[in-house]
């Protein structure tokens, strides 16, 4: 049976080392705890702030609160490696594989793009937009607070053009369809264009004017063209064993740092296809 530990520990003495406090309070060895710390499942509350902590020999004060969220199954996961597409120093653009999270959770961040990029480039990372874990494709990460603010503003103001590919069930009946349907009570617009039909599946090119959660998945399912591999809004478990066939393939925007145009698209060999 795989171990799961969700525990709050209140440190009782000054200058106690984090690794020792964790070892005394749990059944985990120091070797296991070192790996768990690196993978981001330990948090430290000092005063009003609670932050992820990785330093094995972090000295604690009396009254410090330590939280450990240890899930052996999660921590044993091995993420696929993202591919660097463009490095602008203040931010970078990556090909995120399916299965990699945009950011971590309380249970760890070793399978999150932000942490993988941080370790790869040895730079701090800031999330400026998201892709679902099951969605592959182009994703941007900021490396300075200024870049994070400016890029987040561009996304919020819809000044970044985003294009996706999706493979859906059935033959798409129209060349181009605009779906104007609220998502969770918020206005959402998607445009889908048929690129290819084969073996009762359609390859679509999709542009979005808004960025609601699961927007493309929900919109296509709402018009009876669920995405292949969609286990939330489609028929994946019943009909198709594939991973989610949705991919972000193109980003286009004016760089807020240099004001140069950035236009980056995946190569054909990197794209999903029929």
Q: For residue 66, give both structure tokens.
A: 């330590």
- 1 pLDDT band, cuts 50/70/90, is confident
Give the pair of three-digit tokens for residue 107. 């249970």
CATH number of this structure's domain 161-248, picked from the four choices 3.30.470.20, 3.30.2350.10, 3.40.50.720, 3.20.20.140? 3.30.2350.10
- Fold held by 4-75: 3.10.290
Q: Is 190 exposed, middle or buried (0-12, 13-18, 19+ CB in 10 A)?
A: buried
Q: Tokens standing for 14?
A: 């000054």
pLDDT in tens, 85-100: 999 999 999 999 999 9
Q: Which of 132, 180, 263, 268 is catalytic?
A: 132
What pLDDT does residue 253 have? Answer: 97
Q: How many residues does the chain have?
A: 274
Q: Catalytic annotation on 87? A: no
Distance CA 67, CA 75 (A): 16
Q: In this predicted model, what pLDDT tens digit does every residue of 176-224 receive, in sequence order?
A: 999 999 998 999 999 999 999 999 999 999 999 888 889 999 999 999 9
Measured at the CA of 259, the angle between CA 257 and CA 262, to 5 degrees, comes to 95
Provide the 3-class DSSP secondary structure of residue 180.
Answer: strand
Q: Any idea which fold 83-157 has?
A: Alpha-Beta Plaits (3.30.70)
For the chain, the structural domain boundaries read 4-75, 83-157, 161-248
């Amino acid at each position: 049976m795989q171990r799961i530990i969700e525990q709050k520990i209140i440190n009782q003495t000054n200058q106690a080392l984090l690794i020792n406090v964790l070892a005394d309070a749990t059944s985990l060895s120091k070797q296991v705890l070192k790996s768990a710390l690196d993978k981001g499942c330990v948090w430290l509350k000092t005063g009003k702030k609670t932050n992820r902590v990785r330093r094995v020999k972090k000295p604690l004060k009396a009254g410090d609160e330590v939280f450990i969220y240890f899930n052996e199954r999660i921590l044993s996961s091995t993420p696929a490696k993202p591919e660097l597409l463009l490095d602008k120093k203040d931010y970078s653009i990556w090909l995120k594989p399916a299965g990699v999270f945009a950011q971590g959770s309380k249970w760890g961040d070793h399978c999150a793009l932000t942490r993988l990029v941080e370790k790869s480039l040895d730079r701090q990372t800031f999330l400026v937009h998201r892709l679902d874990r099951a969605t592959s494709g182009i994703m941007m990460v900021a490396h300075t607070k200024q870049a994070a603010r400016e890029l987040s503003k561009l996304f919020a103001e819809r000044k970044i053009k985003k294009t996706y590919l999706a493979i859906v069930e059935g033959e798409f009946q129209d060349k181009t369809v605009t779906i104007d349907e609220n998502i969770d009570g918020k206005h959402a617009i998607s445009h889908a264009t048929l690129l290819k039909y084969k073996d009762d599946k359609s390859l679509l090119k999709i542009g979005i004017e808004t960025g609601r959660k699961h927007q493309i998945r929900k919109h296509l399912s709402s018009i009876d063209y669920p995405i292949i591999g969609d286990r939330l809004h489609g028929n994946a478990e019943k009909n198709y064993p594939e991973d989610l066939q949705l991919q972000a393939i193109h980003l286009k925007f004016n760089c807020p740092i240099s004001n140069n145009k950035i236009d980056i698209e995946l190569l054909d060999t990197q794209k999903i296809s029929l």
